[in-house]
Amino acid sequence: MLFKKLLSSIGIGAATVDTKLSKAQYVQGETVEGIVDIRGGSIEQHIDEIYLALVTTYLREIDDKKHEEKAVLARYKVSGSLTIGPNETKTIPFQFALPYDVPVTLGSSRVWLQTGLDIKMALDPQDRDHLAIEPHPLVAAFLEAARQLGFRLHHVQCEQAPRYWQRRLPFVQEFEFKPASGPFKGCLDELEAIFFLSENSVEVLLEIDRKARGLSGLFAEALDMDETFVRFTYGTGDIPALPQLLADAIQKYS
């Protein structure tokens, strides 16, 4: 028995965990449902806590170099202390609402659910399940409005945010668009959008990168003076007029 305990302490013959989700694709703010299956190992083990951690990655700049960092978006307690016997199985259901600031899994952005068992004096068993996160309808409406104006989604990435942009998290997700056709082709180099989403509205921070024109334009571009930041907020009732609202905001500051 002592030998089995020793093996379990280094993960051999220890309890295992497997999380099963009702589906793999979700929208920002949607409720996630599933079960955690625990199977006992070769000896009885006491589990202090079963938890789920919602995790993503973002780029952080250190000494002019970008490094990938992990960020825990939320942590959910599935169960308190319990004991699992040898080869015993336990199934624990769970549900929780995704935060509205969970990144959309476009581009390099990844989101996963990490399940852990806290077991004293042993390696904690873990399980990882990736989630596909689709844009909230309010964000999806912006993407469609941009498409109607001739913008093509070029790049999506989570990056460390300056303190004055940070809300709950140390990073923001940037959506970069290129004008491929329409009224802004030839006028802008790119358009970047950051979304601060809540249940019924979204605040958008736009970075409008004007195309350099002439010597003064090239000088402004070299000094990053060709970029303008614009904030505006819209809700569900504004969706039909969103293409025009976006076009007006760009025209005003470009």
Q: What is the pLDDT of residues 145-174, one digit of tens each?
A: 999 999 999 999 999 988 777 788 999 999
Phi, psi of 14 (to 5 degrees): -90, 170
Between 138 and 221, residue with greater pLDDT = 138
pLDDT (0 to 100) of residue 225: 41
Whole-number Å distance between alpha carbons of 105 and 70:
15
Q: Is 147 helix (H, G, I), strand (E, B) or coil?
A: helix
Whole-number Å distance between alpha carbons of 57 and 181:
33
- Taking residues 223-238, what's their average pLDDT? 76
Whole-number Å distance between alpha carbons of 188 and 223:
16
Do the beta carbons of residue 90 and residue 20 sit within 8 Å?
no
- Taking residues 88-115, what's their average pLDDT? 93
Write down the residue that tokens 């308190």 correspond to: 80
pTM of structure? 0.83
Confidence bin at 223 (pLDDT 50/70/90): very low
- Taking residues 214-236, what's their average pLDDT? 60
Between 52 and 8, residue with greater pLDDT = 52
Write down the residue that tokens 């358009």 correspond to: 191
In single-letter form, the type of residue at position 83 comes to: T
Strand spans (E) along 98-248: 111-118, 126-134, 151-160, 171-179, 188-197, 201-210, 227-235
In the chain, the percentage of residues whose pLDDT exceeds 90 is 52
Expressed in angstroms, the distance from the first to the final Cα of the chain is 74
pLDDT digits (tens, 9 = 90+) for 2-17: 333 333 333 334 678 8
What size, in residues, is the chain? Answer: 254
